[in-house]
């Protein structure tokens, strides 16, 4: 199975900021049908600025957005430096216009490739009794 995965880029971040715009490429635009019925989405994107061999070899980090965090493995945090530089973010959907999504809360950079978008389903995506280390309670949302 090694080396067999193939990812299709379905869009890009056109505008990054307080309100971001995600452009879905025309050949994938039909996949947005019904998305306007959801208030929140899960956006999977590529950390394109961290896609190099050095960053992909990184396995231990001190999470920069959490000042009291200890050194942890990349699979125990949301560092953009990782073997596969995939980002995940829950965003609020503000508007759908043709093949463009206006969202709030996206932490991706402009021109970040979009890998996939999924609807946020509280019944499936929220775990009320989840346990996390204390250091994750300090710092900004990630």
Which CATH number characterizes residue 92's domain? 2.40.30.70
Please check whether residues 19 and 71 belong to one and the same domain.
no
Q: With CA atoms as reference, report the closest residue to 113 among 93, 84, 141, 140.
A: 84
More confident residue, 128 or 1: 128
Would you call 141 helix, strand, or coil by DSSP?
coil
C-alpha dist (Å) from residue 120 to 17, 20, 83, 95: 21, 18, 26, 16
Q: How many residues would you count in the chain?
A: 142
Q: How confident is the model at residue 103 (pLDDT cuts 50, 70, 90)?
A: very high
pLDDT in tens, 41-66: 999 999 999 899 999 999 999 988 88
pLDDT in tens, 75-93: 999 899 999 999 999 999 9
Please check whether residues 43 and 89 belong to one and the same domain.
yes
- Does 92 fall in a domain? yes
- Does 129 fall in a domain? no
- Does 139 fall in a domain? no
- Does 103 fall in a domain? yes
CA distance 46 to 114: 6
pLDDT of residue 1: 63
Taking a C-beta distance cutoff of 8 angstroms, is the pair 44, 120 a contact?
no
Q: Compute the average pLDDT of residues 102-124.
A: 96
Structural domain including 76 reads 57-84
- Does 2 fall in a domain? no
Could you give the number of structural domains in the chain?
A: 2
User: What is the pTM assigned to this prediction?
Assistant: 0.90
CA distance 68 to 138: 8
Would you call 79 helix, strand, or coil by DSSP?
coil
């Amino acid at each position: 199975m090694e080396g067999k995965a193939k990812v299709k880029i379905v869009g890009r971040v056109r505008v990054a900021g307080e309100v971001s715009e995600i452009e879905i490429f025309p050949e994938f635009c039909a996949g947005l049908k019904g998305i306007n019925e959801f208030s929140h989405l899960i956006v999977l994107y590529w950390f394109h600025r961290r896609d190099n061999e050095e960053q992909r070899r990184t396995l231990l980090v001190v999470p920069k957005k959490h000042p009291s965090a200890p050194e942890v493995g990349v699979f125990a945090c949301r560092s953009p430096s990782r073997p596969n530089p995939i980002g995940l973010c829950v965003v609020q959907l503000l508007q759908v216009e043709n093949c463009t999504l206006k969202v709030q809360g996206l932490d991706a950079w402009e021109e970040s490739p979009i890998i996939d978008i999924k609807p946020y389903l509280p019944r499936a995506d929220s775990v009320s009794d989840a346990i996390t280390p204390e250091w994750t309670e300090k710092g900004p949302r990630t």
